[in-house]
Amino acid sequence: MTIVCKFGGSSLAGSDNIRRCCEIVRADENRRYIVVSAPGKKNKTDRKVTDLLLDCYKNRFEEEPFHKAFTQIADTFREIATLCKDFPIQDELDRMYAQLKSSEANLDFVLSRGEYLNAKIIAKYLDCAFLDAAKFIRFKQGELDLEATRKAAAKLSLSGRIVIPGFYGLDEDGHIKTFSRGGSDITGSVVAGVFGCELYENWTDVDGIHVCDPKVVENSKRVTQVSFRELREMSYMGASVLHAETLLPIYEEPIPIHLKNSFNAYLPGTEILKKRTEVAEKEVITCITGKNDYTCIQISKMMLDKQLGFVKKVTSVFEEYHINISHTHSGLDNICFFVEHSQYVQISFKNFLKELNARIPADKIKGYEDMALLAVIGHNLSGKVGILARIFTALRENNINVKTIYQSISECNIIIGIENGQLDQSIKALYSELIEKE
């Protein structure tokens, strides 16, 4: 069995934590590919190395703030390098300094240096090979190019244990390109997919996936298993478990993910599988989450069901303004589009409504702002008798007005539209009703 282990930033914050992670690696010789993040926060007030690199980039023409950020990065890595007897840390830091100061350094290159140097030091400490992610991870038009990545990976001849920096690869012009923030999770799954691993262990600082965000419900229940579908829904609806694009490279095989806590390695964690192998009655619901700041556009037209191409006409206007639709609900004579507020970049929400009114031959087009979407995610929710009644009762008892509701037959979510500002209260109410009372 070949395992890829990815360690997150907080698991690698400082030499003590790295030592702990390396003990985990050494404990199983199947742990062959080790993907690492840049060092994260040890204490709440610390700053992640990637954030400090961002400061360096922003202040590259200002001596003092650049120096301040770089000194913190250098101190962090110097402390980590004490793990190894003879790592040339000063040479590496001098080189990094010159690169960050260079007029040729683009933002992605600068941001990638935390992962790069961390992986080099950890490889030395583990006494194994370092493989730069730029050797095989490929991007095309800003997105991961899995085909090209597979081809580049197939040309490598690798043996023994290998440490790989997460978060970046090369674009079609040969420049360093990063994933979006938190993207080392994607590197982990790319490595699992292209090097034929049977298991992807993702090591973080939490005990696994919990039903609710701990900032909203402290100590909510940990779930033992989650399906790929459920994970997609969770990430999409705001639960910060893994990067939302993590599944793509491993979905087909499929390669299971095991989420574990590097600080408490003996705990069972949470398994993420294509299909859950056991669905205990008490574990039907795996997540209660949600996001604020949605807008909703409702378009009504009599006999909408007979209007061929009507929806296409509407969505082409969204496309023209690069507005991504998060959800749609449709009825007989109306259709609703839910869009995150942040999507209105090229045009304001108000002007977009005007544009739709001018171009779409509808009976009525109405916009709602300041909506939140609440999501209950779990296995076969549509097959569970009485769940909606319990949700509505809990929300009513907390004076929360339900504006919309959506439940699909085959999927694993119930999405409820409420007012902005009522999300945390709703999540608490549903947790108490659906989980604590079970």
Q: Any contact of residue 181 with ligand ASP (CB under 6 A)?
A: yes
Identity of the residue, 114 or 249, whose beta carbon is nearer to ligand ASP in the bound complex: 114
Assess contact for 218 and 24: CB atoms under 8 A. Answer: no
Residue 109 C-beta: closest distance to ligand ASP, Å: 14
Site string for ligand ASP, 319-358 (x = CB under 6 A): ----------------------------------------
Residue number with CB closer to ligand ASP (166 or 249): 166
* 184 is an interface residue for ligand ASP by CB under 6 A: yes
Which residue lies nearer to ligand ASP by CB, 183 or 256?
183
Question: What CA–CA distance (Å, rounded) separates 187 from 342?
Answer: 27
Q: Select the residue interacting with ligand ASP from 31, 73, 123, 166 (CB under 6 A).
A: 166
Site for ligand ASP in 8-27 (CB under 6 A): 9
Candidates 177-185, 283-291, 325-333, 380-388: pick the segment binding ligand ASP (CB under 6 A).
177-185
For residue 50, give the nearest of 5, 105, 108, 102 by alpha carbon: 108
- CA neighbor of 226 nearest in space, from 246, 255, 256, 201: 256
CA distance 372 to 419: 5
Kindly identify the residues of this chain, within the stretch 20-79, that bind ligand ASP according to CB under 6 A: 37-38, 48, 50
Q: In the chain, what's the furthest Cα-to-Cα distance?
A: 76
Least CB distance from residue 40 to ligand ASP, whole Å? Answer: 7
How many residues interact with ligand ASP (rule CB under 6 A)? 12
Segment 91 to 150, residues that bind ligand ASP, using CB under 6 A: 114
Q: Counting contacts by CB under 6 A, is residue 182 touching ligand ASP? A: yes
- Measured from the CB atom, is 8 or 269 closer to ligand ASP? 8
- How far apart are the C-alpha atoms of 271 and 241, rounded to whole Å? 12
Return the number of the residue (108 or 283) whose C-beta is nearest ligand ASP.
Answer: 108
Q: Are 365 and 357 in contact (CB under 8 A)?
A: yes
| Least distance to ligand ASP, CB of residue 266, Å | 24
Give the interface with ligand ASP as residue ranges (CB under 6 A). 9, 37-38, 48, 50, 114, 166-167, 181-184
